[in-house]
Amino acid sequence: MKFYKTEIPGVFIIEPKKFGDSRGYFFESYNEKEFHDNGIKNKFIQDNQSFSRYGTIRGLHFQTDTNAQAKLVRAVQGQVLDVTVDLRPKSPTFGKHVSVLLDDEANNMLFIPRGFAHGFSVQSETAVFAYKCDNFYNTFSEGGIIYNDPDLKIDWKIPADKIVISSKDSFWPTLTKWMGKNSR
């Protein structure tokens, strides 16, 4: 595997070594030793998977406090634009985001440490998306930032009239409002 640092420390793009022949291909999607050798020592304890259609935006989601989650994400089928936003208040990259195109041909992945919001938009007709998490989901610790927060300036690469979003995701606060609410 190749591990590439991004402009936000702790966030990595990971490309597996893919072995192909006339039957198809094989690759390791996770190898604890290689992750540890690259400074990622999280123990993954929950796997999630979603199916979505073109134009869907899921996010920006996170878990708070002791329920925060690091994630290793990838597109099993199709293509997504994956986005992660730094929510760590003391970080020099607070409020900055990384966007990475993940697809089923490159089989690339994104590692997102704890303290980040995460979301993705579906760029292909459909997509199956997999998440490895290092903490269990807790409904009482769930949080979110509105996907179209004007201060974040995220380009989801979906025309406005094609965006599909859940009612819950359409009511998250902006980052500024979330920070104001949580600074009390």
Is residue 30 classed exposed, middle or buried when 0-12, 13-18 and 19+ CB atoms within 10 A define those classes? Answer: middle
Task: Return d(Cα 116, Cα 61) in angstroms, integer.
Answer: 8
Dig out the tokens for 116 from the structure.
Answer: 């980040």
Active-site residue flag, 118? no
Considering the candidates 4, 25, 36, 131, report the single residue annotated as catalytic: 131
Considering the candidates 61, 97, 118, 147, report the single residue annotated as catalytic: 61
Active-site residue flag, 131? yes
Please calculate the CA angle 155-156-162 and round it to the nearest 5 degrees.
125
Contact yes or no for 63/142 (Cβ under 8 A): yes
Maximum separation of any 2 CA atoms in the chain, in Å: 60
- 3 state DSSP class of 138: coil
Contact yes or no for 22/121 (Cβ under 8 A): no
Task: Return d(Cα 16, Cα 105) in angstroms, integer.
Answer: 11
Active site residues: 61, 131
